[in-house]
Amino acid sequence: MSDRVDKTYFCRTCGNEVKFVKDGGGQLICCGHPMEIRKPGFDGEE
């Protein structure tokens, strides 16, 4: 059961962080730029 993701996106411009628990496949935009993912696909945890 892992349709749950734990991804944190952050904005370099303002430092805003958004945590994703569900990947909707969209792109987050903040300050007019796409937010960057902080931790890339982590799947070594169970």
Could you list the residues that contact Zn ion (CB under 5 A)?
11, 13-14, 16, 30-31
Rounded to the nearest whole angstrom, what is the least distance from the CB of residue 13 to Zn ion in the complex?
Answer: 4
User: Tokens representing 4?
Assistant: 């749950």
How does DSSP classify residue 14?
A: T
Query: Shortest gap between Cβ of 28 and Zn ion (angstroms)?
Result: 10
Cβ 11 to Zn ion shortest distance, Å? 3
Tell me how far CA of residue 26 lies from CA of 12, 20, 22, in angstroms. 18, 11, 11
Query: Letter for the amino acid at 12?
Result: R
The residue (of 5 and 18) whose beta carbon lies closer to Zn ion is 18
